[in-house]
Amino acid sequence: MQYKRILLKLSGEALMGDRQYGIDPNRLAEYAQEIKQVIDLGTEVAIVIGGGNIFRGLAGASNGMDRVQGDHMGMLATVINGLALQGALEELQIETRLQSAIKINEVAEPFIRRRAMRHLEKGRVVIFGGGTGNPYFTTDSAAVLRAIEIQADVILKGTRVDGIYTSDPEKDKNATKFDHISFKDVLNKGLKVMDTTAFTLSQENKLPIIVFDMNKKGNLKKVLSGENIGTKVNL
């Protein structure tokens, strides 16, 4: 494997599968199998999941809800998704720990950096829920922050698109894909990879990002094996 320790970022919407909201058990099981493949090869895996399949604070704010309250609801949604993924992984006999940035001691450990790193060293999958614990920060920001804290080698952003394109490939048939691109070029071209706060934090800490299609079977293992899958963003 090309990377020893990874931070896998999954969107909440990815867990919906073909549904309009909520969690698709089949999609959840598929993701668990993909993660098991790389765990079995010795990769240390940490995960951050969004909560957009259940609730998105920004969307609530646009409909008149208090933004801070909405973001707190979104944080709880990420914990729900984390519990669901934890259950799917443990069905495959994979040891996991769910750590939350907000205190929910009955269902998740509090986030403690040293404890998270120790879990990873022991081969456990660590799922980070609750975002950063602060409103106005996305789960992209949480993913980059946690990746830096646990000294991950790379952030793998699993999406439904197979990389970064010159424009939205779902809307523009002439969009072309980048195999590699620099942080600087992403900013200069105005490409959307992560929110600006998360992307800048990754750039400043020289943490590479790989955007790839998580829904294609075997892609996670291929990325970690060094195959030319998705788009790699680095210096």
| 205's tokens | 């800490």
SS3 9: strand
pLDDT of residue 34: 97
pLDDT of residue 155: 98
Question: For 5-27, what is each residue's pLDDT tens digit?
Answer: 999 999 998 899 888 889 999 99
Q: Strands 125-129, 96-100: parallel, antiparallel or unpaired by DSSP?
A: parallel
Question: For 169-206, what is each residue's pLDDT tens digit?
Answer: 888 889 999 999 999 999 999 998 999 999 999 999 99
pLDDT at 50 exceeding the cut of 90 = yes
| 3's tokens | 């990377």
**CB-based contacts of 64, cutoff 8 Å, min separation 6:** none
The residue whose two tokens read 């600087």 is: 184
In contact, 186 and 193? CB cutoff 8 Å: yes
Q: Can you state the percent helix, strand and coil of the chain, rounding each to 5?
A: 40, 20, 40
Mean pLDDT of the chain: 94
Question: For 147-176, what is each residue's pLDDT tens digit?
Answer: 999 999 999 999 988 999 998 888 888 999
pLDDT of residue 212: 96
pLDDT of residue 62: 74
pLDDT of residue 7: 98
Span 1-154 CATH architecture: 3-Layer(aba) Sandwich (3.40)
**CB-based contacts of 145, cutoff 8 Å, min separation 6:** 132, 201
Report the 10 Å Cβ neighbour count for 19: 11
pLDDT at 61 exceeding the cut of 80 = no
Which residues is 100 bridged to in the sheet? 110, 129
pTM of the model: 0.94
pLDDT of residue 173: 87
pLDDT at 78 exceeding the cut of 90 = yes
Q: Kindly state the average pLDDT of the residues 64-74.
A: 91
DSSP state letters, 60-119: HHHTT--HHHHHHHHHHHHHHHHHHHHHHHHHTT--EEEEESS--TTTSEEP-HHHHHHH
Q: Kindly state the average pLDDT of the residues 133-138.
A: 95
